[in-house]
Amino acid sequence: MDQTKQAGGAPALEGGEKGLNVCLLNDSFPPVIDGVANAVVNYARVIWGRYGRCTVVTPEYPGVKDEYPFPVVRYPSIDTTRLAGYRTGNPFDPATVARLGGMGFDILHCHCPVTSAMLARSLRDVVNAPVVFTYHTKFDIDIARAIKGRALQSAAVKLLVNNITACDEVWVVSRGAGENLRSLGFDGEYIVMPNGVDLPKGRAEEAARGLDRTLDLPRDVPVYLFVGRIMWYKGLRLILDALARLKGAGRDFRMVFVGDGQDREAAEDYARELGLENECVFVGALRDREAIRAWYTRGDLLLFPSTFDTNGLVVREAAACGLGSLLIRGSCAAEGIQDGETGILVEETAESLAGALMGPEAGRDRLRQLGENAMDRIYLSWDDSVAAACRRYRQVRDRWDRGELHRRKVPLDGLYDVSGEVAEALETARAQRQETLAQLRRELERVRDRLDRYL
């Protein structure tokens, strides 16, 4: 549902403080389900009404109805789901730039360094607002997967870094994300702004018991859980190889994969090849957050041996439900985790992972204590996370208004300036054309009235 008409100036908050008017731009948004799309939904949910207004700007999807309390503006796109996992929007669409240009934004917050960042760069001077960028994920890995040939990969990374460098403030979701961004060639400043989770603190016991009635999940057997996109680079092969060792050692268990992705079929085939078809369950993607809470509650341990993720929201989602996690030592997802206290840290090998699952720390009573510790110590709600972001928004906007934000000149700046100018020119021409037509209609009405008096 296009609610653009609701997105005028930001209202005053309690106490008379002017509310913010924030534009959130991202290439992925429901129906796409991934961590960044989830982040954008929750930014919008918390900002809307509590801190002012916000509008999500994202590529269009055929047949999608956006039924949210906040406005969603979708712009023309092409289908690149097989290549990138989501559709790619046209950031130079003049009608989109012109349409957004009159919405009075205070902040443009971009969550993707590709087409969303291009659109933000085109909008910046049109709306006179600073661009904040959040680096969520290791895009160089996605680029390497989607683009063949080192020369093309290098060019794509340079474009990505160029877009990020052009922003007025850069946020990263973890220290490791910042290190990855540095490794790509970014040499600007950044601050760490961690994401939160949208699950309330507490276990969903009744819903978890319902899972046992639909699946073969014996109560006396440990249940391991993976939540996320079913992609090899998330450490799925490591999980399956480790579980094959567990089964070979005579251990009984169940492994539940919650999520979907391009490698799901291959992962299921590999599980069968290892003889794990009776132990592994692939339940697919779940949109119902209560259903996900049920799985976190039912699991004994989240297995998340990913070195790809820059934050690992699922680790804190699991913690919200009293579930501890097994993670790779030194990974971004393991930041803030104390080994043996709020999680289990292993080396990036199947042997290390299997050894940990067969060790004393993996006893079910001990795992329950790990989960309770994680709930108490590492849980971060989206309410608290976005509150911190909005405080920072105000600081960025104040610096922008005082002229203290000096945009770094980067290649292609002129292209985005021209794009914005073209959109403004087209909008002016459209408005003038409408006014001319309105004047003509009024004149025709007067002529008709005079004719009516004479005839």
Does a structural domain hold residue 301?
yes
At 300, list the tokens. Answer: 């004994």
227 and 172 both lie in a single domain: no
3-state secondary structure 391-420: HHHHHHHHHHHCCCCCCCCCCCHHHHHHHH
Q: Give the chain's domain count.
A: 2
Residues spanned by the domain of 336: 205-379
Reported pTM: 0.74
214 and 232 both lie in a single domain: yes
3-state secondary structure 228-258: CCCCHHHCHHHHHHHHHHHHHCCCCCEEEEE
Does a structural domain hold residue 360?
yes
* The dihedral formed by the CA atoms of 101, 102, 104 and 105, expressed in degrees to the nearest 10: -20
Alpha-helical regions (H) of 106-149:
115-127, 139-146
List pLDDT tens digits, range 324-355. Answer: 999 999 998 999 899 999 999 999 999 999 99
181 and 324 both lie in a single domain: no
Q: For 62, phi and psi rounded to 5 degrees?
A: -60, 130
Instruction: Output the domain CATH number for residue 402.
Output: 3.40.50.2000
79 and 228 both lie in a single domain: no
Domain end (from 379, 413, 442) = 379
List pLDDT tens digits, range 176-233. Answer: 889 989 999 999 999 999 999 989 999 999 999 889 878 878 889 999 999 998 999 9
Does a structural domain hold residue 162?
yes
Does a structural domain hold residue 455?
no
248 and 325 both lie in a single domain: yes
122 and 242 both lie in a single domain: no
Does a structural domain hold residue 31?
yes
Pairing type for strands 107-110 and 20-25 reads parallel
Query: Which DSSP category does 325 fall into?
Result: E
- Do 233 and 308 meet the contact criterion of CB atoms below 8 Å apart? yes
Enumerate residue ranges in the chain where pLDDT < 70: 1-17, 140-147, 406-444, 446-455
Which H or E element spans position 91?
none
Does a structural domain hold residue 443?
no
115 and 238 both lie in a single domain: no
pLDDT attached to residue 451: 61
- Do 99 and 360 meet the contact criterion of CB atoms below 8 Å apart? no
Domain end (from 313, 346, 379) = 379
Does a structural domain hold residue 348?
yes
139 and 187 both lie in a single domain: yes
391 and 352 both lie in a single domain: no
- Do 377 and 3 meet the contact criterion of CB atoms below 8 Å apart? no
pLDDT attached to residue 443: 61
Domain end (from 345, 379, 413) = 379
267 and 132 both lie in a single domain: no
279 and 170 both lie in a single domain: no
Does a structural domain hold residue 447?
no
- Do 57 and 89 meet the contact criterion of CB atoms below 8 Å apart? no
76 and 190 both lie in a single domain: yes
pLDDT attached to residue 455: 53
pLDDT attached to residue 423: 47
Pairing type for strands 72-75 and 169-172 reads unpaired
Q: What is the spatial order of strands in the sheet that 301-304 belongs to? A: 280-284, 254-258, 223-227, 301-304, 325-328, 343-346
